[in-house]
Structure 1
C-alpha cells in the first residue's frame, strides 16, 4: 500500500504514543500534524477511560473522537460526551472475579466507572500501575460495584500478568473479555468488547474503513486492533504476542517509534 492510502491513524497511548513520563514528544506532535495536513484522521485508541484522557486530548488538540476503555467507549472530545458506551454487568463481574480467585487465591481489584465523569475506584491492597492517574481508594470490595462500570482491573501479589491473564481466560468464559494492557494491568471488560469493536464504530462514524487504517500498539490488548486494521505497527518494547502478529516493528515509544513510521507514510510537503 502506498503512503497516501492511509486515511486513519489509530494509536494506543501508554507504551506507544506516550513516553514514560506521560508526555508526547515534539517529534511525535509534528508527525501527527503531517497526518492532519494530509487530510487523514488520528484516533486515540486506549484502555484508559474517557475521564483519564480528557486533559491529554486537549493538549494534543484532539477535538474529535477517541476510543476509550478498551473499546467500551467512543468519546467525542469536542462535545465532552460519550457517543457510545457499554457497561460490564456488575453481577457478572463479581462472579468472574470469584472464579479467578478460586483458582489463584486473592487478587486486588479496581474499577473504572462508566461516564465522562466516572471515577477509578481501588480496593485496599491495589496499587495503581500508573501512579499519575487519579484514583479513589474505597474501604471494601463491595464499594466497587456501587455505580455502572466499564471494566475491572486486576493485580495478583506474585503471579505475572501473563499467568494471571491466562488463568482468567480459562475460567471466565463468556462472563467477560480478558485483556492485558500493560505492566500490572489485567482487565475484565464486557464480553465481545475489544479495541477493534470500538475502533470499527468510530471509523464508521467518520466514514472510514479498516483497509484505510494503520494502527500502533504495544500490548496484547492491541491484537484485535491489528487484526482489524490494514497495517499493524508494534513498538520495539512490545509484548511478544503483539510482535508476532505485527506487520512492522518500529523503535520504542521513548525513541519516537510512532513518528518514525508516520514520517515515512506521510512525507513532508515541500
Structure 2
C-alpha cells in the first residue's frame, strides 16, 4: 500500500460504470467473520483513490450480517480522514502502520506511538554508512501532522499533500510517527533489505508501496495496531479476515485468521496469504465477501 508523499488534492469520488454488478442478497446472509480488516491503497481503493459501489455494497452486507469493518492503513490520520468521511465511516481506524488508533466518529486519537528521533537519526546514519546518502521525508505525529519532504526526496504523483522544506534540520523539529527513505540507485526491495540488515536492531523497516520505504518504531506493525483496535471491539484474531497488497501487510496476515492478497499484491505478501483474489481495480474484496455471504 503506498503511503508516500504527493502533491495534489484528493479527487472527488468518481462514478462507477453501469456494468458494475451490485450485490444485493435477497435474504439475511450469514458471515463467518466478526471483523473485516482492509488496507487502503492498492486494496480497498482503486487507482482513482475511491471505493467502488460494488465494494461498498459488499462491505455494507458484511456489516449487516454482524461483522465490523476496520481500515488498517500506512497512511497517518490526516491522510486518511477524507476517505473515512466519504465512506461515512465513524468507527475505529488503524493508521500510520499501526502507530495510531483513531476514532473517526469522535475525531479522536485513542493511541499514538511516536518514533524516537535520536534513535531514528542513528539508524539513518548507520544505513548511510553502508549504502550512501539517503533522501528523507517525515510524517509528523498528531491529528493534523504534516508530511515534510526534505532535499532530494522524489514526491509521488497522487492525492496526498506534503510540504517541501529546504533545511533538513526542520524534519526533526517535532514528534514523528515515521521517516520515509529513498536511495538514488537501489530499488524499494533492495533498500528495505539493506536498511533492515543494517539498522533492524534499532528500528522497524517496511516497504509500504512503490517508492515508499519507511522507518518506524521497533516492534510496531499493522498487527500491533489492529490487535489494540480489535480488543476495543471485543474481537479476536480468530474472528478476523484481512485484505492487503504490500509487505507491510504481512504482520496483519500473520495475526488474522485468514489473509487475502490482491492480484496486484507484492509477491512477498502473496507467498504468505491464505488466498489471492482479484485486483483492487476488479473489486477483489467484494468478490471474496460476496462468496462468504452466500455461504
- Band the TM-score falls in, shorter-chain normalisation: over 0.9
Partner of 1:5, secondary structure, is coil
Residue 162 (structure 2) aligns with = 135
Quote the RMSD (CA, aligned, Å): 1.4
Q: How far apart, CA to CA, are the structure 2 residues paired with 1:130 and 1:81? A: 29
Instruction: Verify the 8 A CA contact 2:258 2:274 in the aligned structure 1.
Output: yes
Distance 1:118 1:229 in 2: 29
Query: Is 1:18 the counterpart of 2:45 in the alignment?
Result: yes
C-alpha distance in 2, partners of 1:157/1:19?
Answer: 29
1:41 aligns with 2:68: yes
How far off is 1:139 after superposition? 1.1
Deviations 1:229-251 (A, max 9, x none): 00000000111110010000000
Give CA-to-partner distance per residue, 1:76-101, whole Å, 9 cap, x none.
11111110011000111111111111
SS at match of 1:102: helix
- Equivalent position of 2:4 in the other structure: none
Segments of structure 2 that go 5 or more residues without pairing to the other structure are: 1-29
**Is residue 35–residue 240 contact of structure 2 (8 Å, CA) maintained in 1?**
yes
Going from structure 1 to structure 2, the CA distance change for 1:250 and 1:169 (only over 3 Å counts) comes to same
- Once residues 159 and 208 of structure 1 are traced to their aligned partners in structure 2, the CA distance between those partners, rounded to angstroms, is 41
1:83 maps to 110
1:238-266 deviation line (CA, Å, top 9, x unaligned): 11110010000000111111111111122
Partners in 2 of 1:139 and 1:195 — Cα distance? 32
Residue 151 of structure 1: SS of its match in structure 2? strand
- 2:255 pairs with 1:234: no
Could you give the per-residue CA deviations for residues 56-107 of structure 1, whole angstroms, max 9, x where no partner exists?
0010111010000000000111111110011000111111111111111121
- Aligned equivalents of 2:108, 2:143: Cα separation in 1: 6
Show the counterpart of 1:93: 120
SS at structure 2 position matched to 1:215: strand
Question: Structure 1 residues 92, 253: closer, same or farther in 2, change over 3 A?
Answer: same
Matched, 1:172 2:192: no
- Conserved 8 A contact 2:253-2:259: yes
Q: Find the counterpart in structure 1 of residue 172 from structure 2.
A: 145
Scaled by the length of structure 2, the TM-score of the pair is 0.88
> 1:65 aligned to 2:109?
no
1:112 pairs with 139, 156, 161, which one? 139
Q: Distance in 2 between matches of 1:248 and 1:257?
A: 11
User: After the TM superposition, which residues 48-59 of structure 1 pair with which residues of structure 2 at under 5 Å, given as runs?
Assistant: 48-59=75-86
CA distance in 2, matches of 1:131, 1:109: 18
Q: Secondary structure at the match of 2:269?
A: helix
Tell me, yes or no, if the aligned pair for 1:175 and 1:191 is still in contact at 8 Å: yes
Rounded Cα–Cα distance in structure 2 between residues aligned with 1:166 and 1:199 = 25
Secondary structure of 2:97's counterpart equals: helix
Q: 2:281 aligns with which of 254, 263, 266?
A: 254
Distance in 1 separating the partners of 2:61 and 2:278: 19
How many residue pairs are counted as aligned between the two chains? 267
1:207 aligns with 2:207: no
